[in-house]
């Protein structure tokens, strides 16, 4: 499939997938399994309500991007453990205000939104300052050293799937490689045909059904923690690949900054549920086998991209 150019009018970028919201059933509800034995269950919300501070983590402000739009703020967590060169360049671009005043210029139905510096072929783009002009392809990495928390069910795209520090990930024990998966909310770096043609200036967010065929073909640099509703509701572009034919349809970006460069009083306080805990396993099981009163048949299976990692505002005190 065509790729997304890092400068100039993008070829064909990438993405999409579906994010499952944290819904609550009836706390303490009793359901009946196929063999008619009653099973004590707790809803996802009940599990989260019983969590302890140790079940949550606070992302490093140097790994958070704040994309401020007229409608609000999109909070993005970067993944330096999987894409260190890209994340380093993105930090530089954010600190030097590269995206400030640029636009979200593409919204392809059931796929992605894309933002950056859209220019006509042959027209010089916005200077990238001290950022690197080209970066190595960071499609995967050695699985050794990755704190991988595997899911119990098979996956059609990888030998194993699970989570690594909150990011949906996959790995192949045979090759010893691990990579981040294209799920709803994934942030990736557009590229041209050459694998090493990205510089992190053109970024996309998956807003549709997870395009897992993109895994290991493009560099994943992070994921949206909060504010997906600001991206998923953007009008779909009517041009090829969802590009806006009328520049007036593009959504202006007021700024993209690192949280570490924003005064503490202006930051968005967030905590993310740790994905290496017994509580997270219980949350996954509560989604994998729904046993509240509405569900008649537990599924016994869950897809990687149907698991939404809970995010919350830290409790007072």
* pLDDT band, very low/low/confident/very high, at 42 (cuts 50, 70, 90): confident
105: number of CA atoms within 13 Å, CB side?
21
- Answer for the pair 293, 154: CB distance below 8 angstroms, yes or no: no
The pLDDT of 264-268, averaged and rounded, is: 97
**Cα torsion 271, 167, 15, 89: sign:** positive
Question: Residue 121: what pLDDT?
Answer: 66
C-alpha to C-alpha distance for 184 and 179, rounded to whole angstroms: 16
**Cα torsion 138, 141, 146, 150: sign:** positive
Question: Which stretch of 33-42, 171-180, 212-221, 262-271 has the lowest confidence by average pLDDT?
Answer: 33-42
pLDDT at 53 over 80: yes
The pLDDT of 267-292, averaged and rounded, is: 95
pLDDT at 200 over 80: yes
122 Ramachandran zone, left/alpha/beta (phi>0; psi -120 to 50): left
What would the pLDDT profile of 8-33 be if each residue is shown by its tens digit? 334 333 333 333 233 233 333 333 33
- Answer for the pair 208, 112: CB distance below 8 angstroms, yes or no: yes
Which residues lie below 8 Å from residue 82, measured CB to CB, with a gap of 6+?
138, 141, 164, 167, 169, 178, 179, 180, 220, 221
3-state secondary structure of 308: coil
Bridge partners of 271, per DSSP, are: 312
C-alpha to C-alpha distance for 66 and 76, rounded to whole angstroms: 7
C-alpha to C-alpha distance for 53 and 309, rounded to whole angstroms: 16
Question: Residue 269: what pLDDT?
Answer: 97
User: For the chain, what is the mean pLDDT?
Assistant: 88
Question: Residue 38: what pLDDT?
Answer: 43
What would the pLDDT profile of 222-265 be if each residue is shown by its tens digit? 999 999 999 999 999 999 999 999 999 999 999 999 999 999 99
- What pTM was estimated for this model as a whole? 0.86
- Closest to 191 in 3D by CA, of 73, 83, 304: 83
Q: Among all chains, which residue has been given the structure tokens 């704040």?
A: 66
C-alpha to C-alpha distance for 76 and 224, rounded to whole angstroms: 4
Question: Residue 123: what pLDDT?
Answer: 74
Contacts 24+ apart (CB under 8 A), 19-25: 19/183, 19/184, 19/185, 19/228, 19/305, 19/308, 20/287, 20/306, 20/307, 20/308, 21/308, 22/48, 22/308, 22/310, 25/286, 25/290, 25/291, 25/292, 25/293, 25/294
176 Ramachandran zone, left/alpha/beta (phi>0; psi -120 to 50): left
The pLDDT of 158-175, averaged and rounded, is: 97
- Closest to 83 in 3D by CA, of 213, 216, 266: 216
C-alpha to C-alpha distance for 37 and 255, rounded to whole angstroms: 56
Residues in the chain: 317
């Amino acid at each position: 499939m065509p790729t997304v150019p890092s400068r100039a009018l993008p070829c064909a970028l990438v993405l999409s997938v579906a994010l499952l919201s944290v819904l609550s059933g009836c706390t303490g509800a009793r359901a009946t399994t196929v063999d008619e034995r009653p099973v004590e269950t707790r809803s996802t919300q009940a599990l989260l309500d019983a969590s302890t501070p140790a079940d949550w983590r606070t992302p490093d402000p140097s790994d958070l991007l704040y994309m401020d739009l007229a409608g609000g703020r999109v909070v993005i967590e970067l993944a330096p453990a999987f894409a260190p060169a890209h994340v380093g360049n993105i930090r530089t671009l954010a600190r030097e205000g590269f995206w400030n005043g640029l636009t979200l210029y593409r919204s392809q139905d059931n796929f992605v939104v894309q933002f950056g510096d859209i220019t006509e072929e042959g027209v010089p783009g916005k200077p990238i300052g001290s950022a690197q002009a080209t970066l190595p392809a960071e499609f995967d990495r050695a699985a050794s050293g990755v704190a991988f928390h595997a899911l119990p069910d098979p996956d059609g795209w990888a030998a194993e799937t699970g989570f690594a520090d909150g990011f949906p990930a996959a790995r192949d024990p045979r090759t010893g490689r691990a990579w981040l998966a294209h799920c709803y909310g994934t942030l990736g770096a557009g590229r041209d045909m050459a694998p090493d043609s990205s510089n992190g200036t053109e970024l996309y967010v998956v807003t549709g059904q997870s395009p897992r065929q993109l895994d290991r073909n493009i560099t994943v640099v992070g994921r949206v923690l909060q504010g997906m509703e600001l991206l998923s509701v953007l009008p779909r572009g009517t041009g090829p690949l969802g590009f806006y034919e009328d520049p007036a349809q593009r959504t202006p970006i007021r700024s993209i900054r690192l949280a570490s460069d924003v005064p503490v009083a202006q930051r968005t306080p967030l905590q993310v549920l740790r994905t290496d805990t017994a509580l997270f396993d219980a949350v996954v099981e509560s989604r994998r086998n729904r046993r509240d009163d509405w569900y008649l048949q537990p599924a016994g299976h869950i897809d990687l991209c149907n698991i939404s990692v809970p995010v919350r505002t830290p409790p007072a005190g």
